Amino acid sequence: MSDKYSVEHVGVVVLGSGSEYHVLVESSQYDTLHNIHWYVSDSVIGLMDILESTFAQNVVGVRPDAPYTLTSDIIREKYGDDTKLYHYLAYDSVWILGNTLLLSQSTNPHIMDAVMPAALSYHTTLSGLVYNGTKHVIQYGIGVL
């Protein structure tokens, strides 16, 4: 593709739970793939630091910022387990939609949309942990190597 189109028009999206990291390791062995743009998920970006820098410089991904790290540390300390973005989104999405359905008593998307802010005020799911009297939510920033 990079031969047919100029390099700035070629990009690869790598999303997953981290196992896709091997695709990047193998791809780093080919010089022609060093110039295309790679977009990866949070579970992959954390592993990128060990790749050769000329390849990794074109890798962009979501990286947890400080509030996420604090929340992750709290969960690791309390439950002895690390956090993953997908688990939060999957659990919290169901919780928020459930609260919205209960409050709206409707499946009409317009009514649900109007009620969702009130449903979020009851949000005490995994990403809404209360720590020292303050509510810490998971936030992410963009990580560029």
pLDDT at position 35 is 78
The phi, psi pair for 20, rounded to 5°, reads -70, -10
pLDDT of residue 140: 39
Rounded average pLDDT per 10-residue block, the chain, 145 residues: 65 70 80 77 62 68 55 74 59 68 77 75 53 45 37
Task: Based on the fold, state whether residues 38 and 85 are members of the same structural domain.
Answer: no
In a shared domain, residues 50 and 70: no
Q: Are residues 86 and 136 in the same domain?
A: yes
Residues 119, 81, single domain; the answer is: yes
CB 64 within 8 Å of CB 140: yes
Give the pLDDT confidence score for residue 80 in this predicted structure: 78
Looking at the fold, whether 40 and 20 belong to one and the same domain comes out as yes
Residue 74 and residue 135 share a domain: yes
> Based on the domain organization, do 87 and 101 belong to the same domain?
yes
Q: What is the pLDDT of residue 131?
A: 43
- Give the domain range for residue 20: 7-63
Residue type, 136: H
- Burial label, 138 (beta-carbon count in 10 A; 0-12, 13-18, 19+): buried
Structural domain ending residue among the three candidates 63, 78, 97: 63
Predicted model pTM: 0.42
